[in-house]
Amino acid sequence: MTQYRNRAAVIGARILLSVVSAGAVAAPAAWSAPPQISGGIVARDANVHGTTIHYLRAGMGDTTIVLLHGWPESSHEWHKVIPALSSRYTVIASDLRGVGGSRATATGYDKATLAEDVHALVAQLGLKHVYVIGHDIGGMVAYAYARSYPEDLSGVAIIDIPVPGIDPWTMVKGSPWAWHFGFNATPGLAEALVAGRQEIYFRHFFNDFAVTPSAISPADRNAYAGAYRKPESLRAGFEFYRAFPQDEAYNRSHQNALSTPILLVGGDHSGGPMLPALEKGLRAAGATSVKEAVIPNCGHWVAEEQPQALVRIIEDFVATK
Active-site amino acid positions = 136, 241, 300
Q: CA distances (Å), 319 to each of 88, 157, 165, 312, 313, in order? A: 11, 14, 30, 10, 10
Strand partners, 293: 265
Q: Where are the alpha helices (DSSP H) in the chain?
A: 2-21, 82-85, 111-125, 137-148, 169-173, 179-184, 189-194, 198-208, 218-227, 231-242, 244-253, 275-284, 302-305, 307-319
Whether residue 277 contacts residue 120, with contact meaning beta carbons closer than 8 Å, is answered with no
Query: CA angle 317-319-321, nearest 5°?
Result: 80
Crossing angle for the helix pair 2-21 and 198-208, to the nearest 10 degrees: 130
Q: What is the 3-state secondary structure (H, E, C) of 133-181?
A: EEECHHHHHHHHHHHHCHHHCCEEEEECCCCCCCCCHHHHHCCHHHHHH
Phi-psi category of residue 297: left, alpha or beta, with phi > 0 → left and psi -120 to 50 → alpha: left
State how far the Cα of 61 lies from the Cα of 129, in Å rounded to an integer. Answer: 10
Residue 251: name the closest of 140, 135, 133 by CA: 140
